[in-house]
Amino acid sequence: MIFRDRQDAGRQLAIVLQRFRSEGPLVLGLARGGVVLAHQIATVLDCDLDVLVARKVGAPGHPEFGIGAVAPDGVQVSNPRVLEFLAISESAFDQLANRERAEVDRRLLLYRSRAGPPAVRGRTAIVVDDGLATGVTALASARYVRTLQPRRLVLAVPVCSQPAHEVLQPEVDEMICLSRPEQFRAVGEWYQDFSQVEDDEILDLLKGSPIPR
């Protein structure tokens, strides 16, 4: 399954998520790309939209290879077997994580000003990303949202790798993935247009959302 762009992927996800409409869910887009899909879903479901910020922690010298991730309020995940294989100590990982945490704080201030956490408690929370390769960033995000005590936690993505699905499925109440290709190298392979999403676009999409300013 190839998606034209993130808007197309969001609309296709929205079809599957229609059954949650009566629950008045809160749709949470993972910045940056996931917000584009989340906006489409929130529009179709006529429900609230908010943003999640998490960051992958990359391996030294290979930042594209995720060895962990960080999310707000000190949430942090790592892959112990990968750290052992790469001979990365816990203290070294913490240093790498702290650098990414600074970027999480910067984006939170930009996207959400000084607002508190998303208003998730007692609601159905639908976490949305544009795709999962390792799934480590979505894992940190899901664990953060779980601390906010949603009634139901749903993870929705258009495409994911089989390993990511296996990691994430036990962490959420329901996982929705439209496509799980056997051969998976990168999320961008499954989009005709996978252009980078900039901060200004995120801010435009969040206009009218319930984030207090």
Q: What's the pLDDT tens digit per position in 56-89?
A: 998 888 887 889 999 999 999 998 888 888 899 8
Q: CB-based contacts of 188: which residues, under 8 Å, 6+ apart? A: 194
CA distance 155 to 175: 5
- Check residue 66 and give its pLDDT: 82
Cross-sheet strand order for the sheet of 174-179: 48-52, 26-30, 124-128, 152-159, 174-179
pTM: 0.94
- Check residue 80 and give its pLDDT: 83
Stretch 99-111: mean pLDDT: 94
Domain range summary for the chain, segments of one domain joined by +: 6-54+116-206, 56-110
- Check residue 116 and give its pLDDT: 87
pLDDT higher than threshold 60 for residue 213: no
Q: Which fold has domain 6-54+116-206?
A: Rossmann fold (3.40.50)
